[in-house]
């Protein structure tokens, strides 16, 4: 089992920045990749992912503004969010996957005011 705990959400004005963190514990050695999804009204959508080898993937809507990084020694993934827009408002979920299953954090609220 893997447990994911997010931190760093909050309220920020448009154009501002936030940094999300997610720490993995438990059987974190089994994790192949980690990342972030978000959910406003409707479906949960991918924001960014990073594999153990460092391969990156971003949603088009965040490219150039968000940066995902990972500290394998600390089993932590980060999401640096710059130039935030009101449409970035959502609950952000940390995500991890192994060869057998997916894992999700409890979510952290990000609210961007105009």
CB atoms within 10 A of CB 108: 22
Phi-psi domain of 86 (left: phi exceeds 0; alpha: psi -120 through 50; beta: other): alpha
CA distances, 35 to each of 41, 44, 102, 113 (Å): 20, 13, 11, 24
What mean pLDDT comes out for the span 101-113? 96
Q: Taking 90 as the threshold, does the pLDDT of residue 1 lie above it? A: no
pLDDT tens track for 31-43: 889 999 999 988 8
How high is the pLDDT of residue 93? 97
pLDDT tens track for 3-29: 999 999 999 999 999 999 999 988 777
Burial degree of 21 (CB within 10 A; 0-12, 13-18, 19+): middle
Percent of the chain past pLDDT 90, that is, above it, reads 82
Q: Hunting for tokens 């449409």 — which residue is that?
A: 87
| Greater model confidence, 73 or 14 | 14
Sign of the CA dihedral 102, 4, 54, 92?
A: positive
pLDDT band at 58 (very low <50, low <70, confident <90, very high): very high
pLDDT band at 89 (very low <50, low <70, confident <90, very high): very high
């Amino acid at each position: 089992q893997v447990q994911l705990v997010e931190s760093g959400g909050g309220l920020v004005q448009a154009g501002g920045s936030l940094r999300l963190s997610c720490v993995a514990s438990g059987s974190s050695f089994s994790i192949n990749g980690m990342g972030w999804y978000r959910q406003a009204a409707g479906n949960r959508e991918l924001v960014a992912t990073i594999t153990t080898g460092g391969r990156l993937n971003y949603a088009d809507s965040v490219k150039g503004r968000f940066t995902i990084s990972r500290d394998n020694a600390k089993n932590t993934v980060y999401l640096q969010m710059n130039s935030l827009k009101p449409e970035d408002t959502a609950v952000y979920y940390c995500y991890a996957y192994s060869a057998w299953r997916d894992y999700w954090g409890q979510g952290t609220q990000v609210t961007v005011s105009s």
